[in-house]
Amino acid sequence: MEISGLNIKFLTGVGEKKAAILNTELGIQSYEEMLYHIPYKYIDRSKIYKIADLNPHLPYIQVKARIRDLKSLGAGKSLRMSATAYDETGELELIWFKGFKYLNSQIETEKEYLIFGQPSAFNRKLNIIHPEIDLFEKASHLLSGFQAVYPTTEKMKKAFLNSKAISKIQGAIFKNINGKIPETLPAWFIQKYRLLYLHEALYNVHFPESPETLRKALFRLKFEELFYIQLNILKLKYKRKIAFKGCPFPLIGDYFNTFYHQYLPFPLTNAQKRVIKEIRQDCGSGKQMNRLLQGDVGSGKTLVAVMCMLMALDNHYQTCLMAPTEILANQHFTTISEMLKDMGIRIALLTGSTKKKERTEIHQQLADGSLQIIIGTHALLEDVVAFNNVGLVIIDEQHRFGVAQRAKLWHKNNIPPHVLVMTATPIPRTLAMTLYGDLDVSVIDELPPGRKPITTLHAFDTKRQEIFKFIEQELKKGRQAYIVYPLISESEKMDFRNLEEGYQKINEYFLSKGYKTSMVHGKMKAVDKEEEMRLFVTGETQILVATTVIEVGVNVPNASLMVIESAERFGLSQLHQLRGRVGRGAEQSYCILMTSYKISNDSRKRIDTMVSTNDGFEIAEADLKLRGPGDIEGTQQSGLSCNLKVANLGKDALILNEASRIASSLLEEDPDLQKEENTVFATQIRRLFKTKIKWRYIS
Ligand code: ADP
Ligand code: MG
């Protein structure tokens, strides 16, 4: 039976309206999608409390009690029914706002009930609003152990789709499909690794028979989820190893050596040297290189990129560097052209704003091989961009390009070019395995010498005047400052007003002290943005007011102060990225996180993490724990869906390692999954990953 083809709206108790809400709120339509709506926690229903032991801080609880004094209270909107529940230790008020008829007919004062709900307090009296009540003599099945609790939204609750209702729907599905859910792993595999069968696992996740089976059920589902992700991504790697020869890079020649001996702007750090060596070995191996270069902001990845490009030129290949935004592509172009200016290398910039005539010229020169280095944005991915002989592709990606886009670049040459992906947000190992499992990894784990650690402070909005004074002090020393505002699409208009008002205030205050301000934001025309940026980069303006467009890559070593407005609205890795814009010169740098007085616990944790550490890896781990991997910036757009349904990359690292190991050993034997016993894997991979590639970043 195809459970992905069965629509839940035909289930008893669901219907069109509820089905529509489940679809818009949770994206659930089919039986299968519903079955993979996994409880986020379980309540232990084997414990019965005494009323005297209750307090309003407890989660869901249950008591065994009799009920008296059922009566209606209030009128109109506040019409409600109330009753008193009591056991030998005390009493408790029960309140209902609906379902009166049912209550009147159901409640018998002589009988004992199992009363379940969340205790709260009103006028220092304990109550439960909308308790679930069942005759105790008929409730034994409820007491058997764990009860699933499902994530719900406000809209769902209004439509009576609470956790209990979801549980009923799950029950109805199991009844309807008559115990048969098609298995998604081969039987030999299930036996070998002692997994539960899918049907049993799903059933127990929703209706746990015991804590032990629940544990096994969750394991099976998490394991399978991570296993298929690993199998899919590692398959790429194994296939490439067999199918793709790499462009041979046997030479280290004039370009590399001349640059190294004459034009290197500063001695390489040991980490930079090591990474260049790793890359050189890889490119010289005869296989195609696919490597991830991780290095914290400011660790000097650009220089590594340049030296690798020169390696390609020495071996008579063209090379390209692709950046996620125009600003960054421009900056790379400027920096790299400057570094290479005396070496007679033909280098150009191609972005969305390149003029038609110039663009055609560039296309032409790439095709005939006269251009050696091209730097650009997604514009490089367009089909019209054809190279004469591209040997190395570098992607400065910040999570924004995915597997699919990378694959597109391989096809720009007969022999697929070597690919180097540079990322500035250190990502935890588990996430790297999931997103970049097909890549080898190099790490720059050392910052260039002479950097002073950035001092990070937290300040409330009410202190803005003091902060202005502090900025002024730094400007007096000849430094420059960034002031960053959030611009997040939901409330774009309001954010925009805040930005403009902020800009005005800043401009007013600082102009009177003799300082000038630039502003850039995403809505500006590219030329205006460029001009404002130029003013700041050249030091003609001392303050740059910006939205997060500066997050990526901008490099102004004289800027030593970063103020982030509404810092509570930024994610951790974003804050870290922003902070990385300062601390690039020899001066003491500061990052000031401004927040309103009232912030959530999670925001407080993010701010505290930022204040306490500069270590990108530590921050990335904290981010993963706080937000869950589905939320980590960019992962949704990465082409590989990282929206895990069951597993959690923050918690399930051990399962992931195991899944990855097993996937590797399978592929080692059968890289194309063509053996008879592996056909289930191949089918399942096609089913799971066929629709997930999103091309929106290319078009
Ligand atoms: P990121 O890794 O964030 O891309 P960049 O490549 O922009 O970092 O480098 C950050 C800054 O460090 C730049 O100003 C660059 O010139 C400088 N830098 C890079 N390598 C070294 C080095 N070996 N010694 C001193 N400064 C360096
Ligand atoms: Mg960079």
Token pair for residue 32?
């299968």
Nearest ligand, CA 558: 1
Q: Tell whether 421 is covered by a domain.
A: no
In the chain, DSSP finds a helix count (H) and a strand count (E) of 23, 22
The b-or-e profile of 581-611 (16+ CB within 10 A means b, else e) is bbbbbebbbbbbbbbeeebeeebeebbebbe
Q: Give the residue from 567, 594, 613 where a domain finishes.
A: 613
- Atom number, ligand 1, closest to the C-alpha of residue 305: 6
d(Cα 417, Cα 245) in Å, to the nearest integer? 9
> pLDDT tens, 89-124?
999 999 998 778 878 888 888 899 999 988 998 888
Token pair recorded at residue 225: 């989820």
* Residue 568 within a domain: yes
Q: Give a yes or no: residue 504 inside a domain.
A: yes
Where do the H-state alpha helices sit in 487-590? Answer: 492-511, 526-537, 572-579
| Res 341: pLDDT | 95
Contact 600, 465 (CB under 8 A): no
Is residue 346 a contact partner of residue 370, using CB atoms and an 8 Å limit? yes
Predicted TM-score of the model (pTM): 0.66
Measured from the alpha carbon of residue 335, the closest ligand is: 1
Which CATH number fits the domain that encloses residue 479?
3.40.50.300
Query: Is 128 a member of any domain?
Result: yes
**Alpha carbon distance 84, 93 (integer Å):** 5
Tokens for 72, please give them. Answer: 């209606």
Give residue 639's pLDDT: 33
Q: Are residues 177 and 3 in contact, defined by beta-carbon separation less than 8 angstroms?
A: yes
The per-residue pLDDT for 652 is 86
- The pick from 266, 272, 331, 334 for probing ligand 1's pocket by mutation, whose C-beta has the most ligand atoms within 8 angstroms, reads 266
Structural domain span for residue 122: 47-143
Ligand nearest, relative to CA of residue 272: 1
Q: Does 388 reside within a domain?
A: no
Report the alpha-carbon distance of residue 439 to residue 424 in Å, rounded.
16
- Candidate of 330, 451, 573, 584 to mutate for ligand 1, largest count of ligand atoms within 8 Å of Cβ: 584
Q: Whose CA is nearest to atom 17 of ligand 1?
A: 300
pLDDT tens sequence across 273-301: 999 999 999 998 888 898 989 888 788 99
Give the distance (Å) from ligand 1 centre to CA of residue 319.
Answer: 21
Output the pLDDT for position 411: 72
CB atoms within 10 A of CB 315: 22
Label each residue of 314-378 as H, E or C: HCCCEEEEECCCHHHHHHHHHHHHHHCCCCCCCEEEECCCCCHHHHHHHHHHHHHCCCCEEEECH
* Domains identified in the chain, total number: 2
Helix (H) or strand (E) holding 386: none
Q: Give the whole-angstrom CA distance, residue 254 versus residue 311.
A: 9
State the CATH number of the domain containing residue 98. 2.40.50.140
Residue 372 phi/psi, 5-degree rounding, is: -100, -40
Ligand closest to Cα of 305 equals 1
**Token couple for 364:** 């032409």
> What's residue 78's pLDDT?
82
* Residue 96 lies inside a defined structural domain of this protein: yes
The answer to whether position 513 is within a domain reads: yes
Mark the ranges of the chain whose per-residue pLDDT is less than 50.
629-641, 692-699
Mutating to test ligand 1, I would choose from 294, 302, 423, 577 the residue with most ligand atoms within 8 A of its C-beta, which is 302
Q: How much distance in Å is there from the Cα of 629 to the middle of ligand 2?
A: 23
Q: How far is the CA of 111 from the centre of ligand 1 (A)?
A: 77
Q: Whose CA is nearest to atom 4 of ligand 1?
A: 301
Task: State both tokens at 254.
Answer: 């004039």
| In a domain? residue 651 | no
Q: Which residues line ligand 1 (CB under 6 A)?
A: 266, 268-269, 272, 295, 297-303, 424, 448, 555, 557, 584
18/26 Cα distance (integer angstroms)? 12
Closest CA to 147 of 163, 160, 133: 163
Tell which of 592, 613, 634 closes a domain: 613
* Among 548, 391, 531, 574, residue whose Cα is nearest residue 484: 548
Yes or no: say if 44 and 52 are a contact pair by the CB < 8 Å rule.
Answer: no
Which of 545, 579, 613 represents a domain boundary (last residue)? 613
